[in-house]
Amino acid sequence: MGATLACADLFALTAAQSVDAMGNVGSTAGDLWAFLEEGTSTKQWHCGHVAWDAVLRAQLAGAGLRGPRHLMESARRFHAVLCPGAQPDQLTIERGHRQIHDTSYKPWPPPRPTHAAITAALKAHATAEGLRIERATLRTFGMAADLCNHGPVATEHAARFSLRHCTAVALTRGAIDFDAFETPEIESQSALVRSIEVG
């Protein structure tokens, strides 16, 4: 935080820009999700930051910058500080299946908690194609309702985090893509979005 504030001063950022910089570094350092309450694009930037950081670290190591080589087992090791009670010997056990093989790409741009609703709405679209949909009722799980069931949709960010908007688009278009969260689609779906009940 301190280094970011110092850089903000060196770059002559405004007070608001300095707060933005501090918010982003705090979000990255602690994996905090405060951005959800303010509708900022910090979440999308997280992935880019991680990729940039990985490339930079590899380049620096290739150029000769040494890092601690006993990070996991030193007195100030990763496990002792961040994961008390861990069993480091488990890392060396040969297993037939690694979790990385279960990693998947998101099929649609909005966050994962909307995907169950999208799947159901796409199936409904297939059976209701040609019919005019005036209202819908969506029953979903708690985290999805808590995270993605906020007020009216007015921005692209709000549309991505809206169960109602995602459901409306899937029901009427039968597809979810990046265009589904642009202003024209937000406006065209607004009436149906207001008629979708989420419980």
Q: What is the pLDDT of residues 152-162, one digit of tens each?
A: 899 998 899 99
| Confidence check: pLDDT of 87 > 80 | no
- Residues 47 and 28 reside in one and the same domain: yes
Chosen domain end from 102, 120, 138: 102
- Tell whether 181 is covered by a domain: yes
If one compares 25 and 188, the residue with the highest pLDDT of the two is 188
- Tell whether 140 is covered by a domain: yes
pLDDT score of 106: 87
What would the two tokens of residue 127 be?
A: 């059976």
pLDDT in tens, 181-197: 999 999 999 999 999 99
DSSP label at residue 183: H
pLDDT in tens, 131-151: 889 899 999 999 898 889 877
C-alpha distances in angstroms, 146 versus 82, 87, 97, 198?
A: 28, 34, 34, 11
Q: Range of 170's domain? A: 112-198
- Tell whether 168 is covered by a domain: yes
Total domains present in the chain: 2
Chosen domain end from 102, 133, 148: 102
- Residues 96 and 166 reside in one and the same domain: no
Per DSSP, the three-state class of 181 is helix
Chosen domain end from 84, 102, 120: 102
Domain at 185, CATH number: 3.30.1330.120
- Residues 128 and 178 reside in one and the same domain: yes
Reduced DSSP (H G I as helix, E B as strand, rest coil) percent helix, strand, coil of the chain, to 5: 60, 5, 40
